Structure 1
Amino acid sequence: MRADSAVAAAVGSGGAQAGGGGVAFVTSLDAKAQAYWGLSPKMLAQFQGRLLSVLIEQHRAGVVNMSAKELREAYFKTTGAWVDMSSISSTVHGLVKGGRVERLAVLRKCDVSGHDITPIRAVPQQQALV
């Protein structure tokens, strides 16, 4: 199943049995978000480290900055693991908040989606550490 699918799975609900007529739906994105936030802090830190390493490898290969979707593609090529965009976005947000990655004050087209994006890059101090 693709990470960005919005297939909804019906979940039994007491409201339907009590005459409420409603059925609760949980999207695959809801399930993925719950699984992501259910990871231990150690696992989250390891994923942040792997994602940052891929970003830095790309910088060293001549890629100046990246979109989150470009980073996801590079992560897949490097590790063989396909990660959903919500996990990539959350992790990048955490790296930005932690001062390890920065958002640039420029707009450019994403090579994957073609949309205007604000690219990210590892801060120079992080690039020197890896």
Structure 2
Amino acid sequence: MIDLIKVMKAGLAVSALVFSGSIFADNNSNAEPLLLAQLTDGFDAQTAYMASCFACHNSGAGGAPNPNNPDDWTARMEKGMDTIMANVINGVNAMPAKGLCFNCTNEDLQAIVDYMIETAQAQ
């Protein structure tokens, strides 16, 4: 049997959380979102790669080019950096737009791509 008192208490608790969240959200409605560079001492492409890209690119999931495998980058580099960046920004195949680095600027994304290509070329 349903305990109506418990249901009412749970509903009241959820309502209080929603209400308090709306108060805080309203107070910060003009606040700009923090960028990754603001959360650290500066943007670090390797750190961003590890946080947002590593899982797929290191394993090659969905055909993601592995920075540790230069052959993965040959055909992509032949298409040119503009195509690579368009794919990173807009998403391609299994990779979502911005490759899950939603707070990254296009310049941040370029730095991550540069890091991956430099890593591949160093192999």
Considering fraction of residues, name the structure with more helix: 2
Instruction: Using CA pairs under 8 Å that are at least 6 residues apart, name the structure with larger relative contact order, 1 or 2.
Output: 2
Higher Rg: 2
Give the TM-score band, short-chain normalised.
Answer: 0.3 to 0.5
Considering fraction of residues, name the structure with more strand: 1
